Structure 1
């Protein structure tokens, strides 16, 4: 599709100014179109948490669909109107839509899910994200919507899931935790829990939310900058920043960059490579589904540490295989295997569990701000990788994977030493796990205060019952 957009830019410029578009200016316009998405994603991440607090989780998602539809319209009409500026504006808006969605959707799912199923349900974000990537790869083939005549339709197709969500989401309840803790609406919270968990199972979840509400003692949702000065969430915040940066800087972009070269070296014809590349999308979907099935049985720590360690292994093997690519006829196939193995390892651990842990490490008052910080770090890292990656590859060649294997290993070590297992634990129990890390010597005094508060809390719940 790159070729078609380049042709569109050239033709639009020529008809508008009666002169050819210079190669440097063409490169600049293409770079703006490609990178403006990341800028939009950053803006979306910065406002997503505030929207979730003011409009509610469900209200923020509904409003976000309006942005997606507007973006689709702008990108779709850019070609017939001959205005490439509309394509840039549409890419920026769809970036905002993505930034808000990746902030609010896991927040919503993480808050209504029961703790024994929270991991699997939270993985829904990654499952449908990878499914969307695969769908885009399929409909982007030149036989479908990737041809010269149909690429505006391909860009406009992003309105389809937005319209579907506008149609179905109003029938779903608001987040029960948001209703009780943020709004103080116990009746609506109970109704929402009955819808989500059934009339016979909702009481246990209701008690858990009431405990968290009592522990927060009317604490208002925090701003992102307040988390940086709150000692009670210091290590949770450090953990989220390290995991988010680790996910973006893990080398997944380098793998996709080298995939075409690896496939060519394995003897696959250039015109067949787009079809082989579909295999990478299938790998991501399969691992996201596998991770969703395993996360509540195996646990978060095992999957994410294992994923990073496997990525470290494949980076090592790929560095050697790319270095000795031409020595033996079987080495290109080894490189090809490493590409798919790396993608499988990424999807099984860092690709899916990072968002899940972001939801679990914070209580209600800190969670939206934590997602804003995580989203901001993620989009800045994504943009930075996009800007610096070509220089890293040109300078280090295949040895760039040495940098990525070290990064993967150190993130795995950090998670092993710092992050507790969160499987089947309430948000308050997870907060208690970080208590000693956050307060050190003062932990014993804080433990006494928490014990006294817990006793009052249990007495209050007995009276309420």
Structure 2
């Protein structure tokens, strides 16, 4: 996640557009139109989402076919290829190489975004499952921060060094290639999918240290028996199976639609908000570092709180705070020129929103997919989540400018409504998953999945199966 080109690229707008203009002039002997330069820039920005969609679509297959660890190692191939293409683009005089590099980087981003969380969640002991999975959110925030920092004029944000900045994500990729081979694969994958108990025990000892871990290994064995040797399910199975209906609804509303929280929108508005507050335009990049620092600290704080307060409490309370912050932000932006202190309130609300996002949904959704789906459905759930998330990000990028044009500051009402709805949904529907086995969480959701006389009979039969498997 470190130094993701998705965030770095926006610092380089004028440099890359100038490069497109110069390259076109040398190649064709005439200057490109402003519309053509804008089109190429838009393609450079948006094609990352297309790559993310492709990478997310492949995540389930690669995780089942090669395992979690090998899938993460394979994701480094498009990452290195993308970094090489973008880093050499100026030397080769080809802006098409930037487009191709962004596509490959997006493939890596979409793949690792799913596989990393799955691998971390399956490798963690039950008492640390939330904390370990949240590291994905922490390092994602750290990646934005590093991207902002490297994009400063004092570092790599100058015309002579922009190819180096675009290729900087090769550094963490190489670090992973050097270190990940020494780690074992997911113990759950080794036991449940490969049915290799000895390899699972060895992996558990390597990851968790010496001690008595048989209780958790027995939980994995119980889950393996409950699955009954079934192969990993596909996305179509996930969509039509009533037994996971409420897990799917939770996945869609709470996890996959996270773009509807408005975090990216607040980031987009931050520049104008800081300018209205009196911060010089030349200094806004440094304030952006403050936003990045806030997001990192909030996800770290979420890691400390998640095993104490629980997933449900952190989610609904922070959804409510985010809704309140968006409502007040709508008011302060509308009264921006009325009082001198109002712009400073807007700045404070931006930081409150980002902190609530990191402590709440930004961090909590990381372990949630691993916890609410058993092994056979988990890869399909991650594929579904990734595909919906990237499509949503792409559509929001296209629609948002029109929303701003049509609604102005009141565009936040849409995201406020979603945050408030999710606070109510989580409070009334979502069961707590803290400290529970996968089968216990499955049983909690079964009470929602089966209703009525036939549903009650199915629920009782499912509970009997779980009890029988646990006793075995």
The answer on whether the counterparts of 1:212 and 1:428 sit within 8 Å (CA) in structure 2 is yes
Query: Which residue in the other structure is 1:457 paired with?
Result: 469
> How far apart, CA to CA, are the structure 1 residues paired with 2:320 and 2:179?
40
Q: Which moved more, 1:133-142 or 1:198-207?
A: 198-207
The answer on whether the counterparts of 1:58 and 1:169 sit within 8 Å (CA) in structure 2 is yes
Residue 251 (structure 1) aligned to one of 262, 271, 274: 262
Deviation track 1:351-371 (CA, whole Å, cap 9, x = no partner) reads 111222111110000000000
Query: Which residue in the other structure is 2:100 paired with?
Result: 89
Structure 1 alignment gaps of length 5 or more: 461-465
Match of 1:326, SS state, is coil
**For residues 309-320 of structure 1, what are the structure 2 equivalents within 5 Å?**
309-320=320-331
**Superposition deviation, residue 457 in structure 1:** 2.6
**Superposition deviation, residue 120 in structure 1:** 0.4
Deviation track 1:21-59 (CA, whole Å, cap 9, x = no partner) reads 101111110100000000100111100111000010000
Query: Which residue in the other structure is 1:198 paired with?
Result: 209
**For residues 107-146 of structure 1, what are the structure 2 equivalents within 5 Å?**
107-146=118-157
Aligned residues: 460
**Superposition deviation, residue 95 in structure 1:** 0.3
Give the TM-score normalised by the residue count of structure 1. 0.97
**Superposition deviation, residue 451 in structure 1:** 4.3
Query: Which residue in the other structure is 1:463 paired with?
Result: none
> How far apart, CA to CA, are the structure 2 residues paired with 1:258 and 1:74?
32
Structure 2 alignment gaps of length 5 or more: 1-11
Query: Which residue in the other structure is 2:340 paired with?
Result: 329
Query: Which residue in the other structure is 1:28 paired with?
Result: 39
Give the TM-score normalised by the residue count of structure 2. 0.96
Query: Which residue in the other structure is 1:58 paired with?
Result: 69
Query: Which residue in the other structure is 1:445 paired with?
Result: 457
CA separation of 1:260/1:458 partners in 2, compared to 1, >3 Å: closer, same or farther? closer
> How far apart, CA to CA, are the structure 2 residues paired with 1:61 and 1:366?
19
> How far apart, CA to CA, are the structure 1 residues paired with 2:256 and 2:119?
23
Is 1:382 aligned to residue 382 of structure 2? Answer: no
Q: Give the ranges of 4+ consecutive aligned residues of structure 1 lying more than 6 Å apart after TM superposition.
A: none
Query: Which residue in the other structure is 2:404 paired with?
Result: 393
Query: Which residue in the other structure is 1:340 paired with?
Result: 351
> How far apart, CA to CA, are the structure 2 residues paired with 1:261 and 1:136?
20
Query: Which residue in the other structure is 1:208 paired with?
Result: 219
The answer on whether the counterparts of 2:86 and 2:167 sit within 8 Å (CA) in structure 1 is yes
Deviation track 1:410-454 (CA, whole Å, cap 9, x = no partner) reads 121122222101000011100000102111123432343234434
> How far apart, CA to CA, are the structure 2 residues paired with 1:12 and 1:453?
67
> How far apart, CA to CA, are the structure 2 residues paired with 1:291 and 1:182?
31
Query: Which residue in the other structure is 1:148 paired with?
Result: 159
> How far apart, CA to CA, are the structure 1 residues paired with 2:267 and 2:174?
31
CA RMSD of aligned residues (A): 1.1
The answer on whether the counterparts of 1:68 and 1:97 sit within 8 Å (CA) in structure 2 is yes
Query: Which residue in the other structure is 2:3 paired with?
Result: none
Match of 2:450, SS state, is helix
Match of 2:451, SS state, is helix
Match of 1:249, SS state, is helix
The answer on whether the counterparts of 2:257 and 2:388 sit within 8 Å (CA) in structure 1 is no
> How far apart, CA to CA, are the structure 1 residues paired with 2:82 and 2:213?
39
Deviation track 1:192-245 (CA, whole Å, cap 9, x = no partner) reads 111122231321111110010011110110011111111111110111111134
The answer on whether the counterparts of 2:257 and 2:389 sit within 8 Å (CA) in structure 1 is no
> How far apart, CA to CA, are the structure 1 residues paired with 2:155 and 2:284?
16
**For residues 172-191 of structure 1, what are the structure 2 equivalents within 5 Å?**
172-191=183-202
The answer on whether the counterparts of 1:246 and 1:407 sit within 8 Å (CA) in structure 2 is no
Match of 1:95, SS state, is helix
> How far apart, CA to CA, are the structure 1 residues paired with 2:291 and 2:212?
40
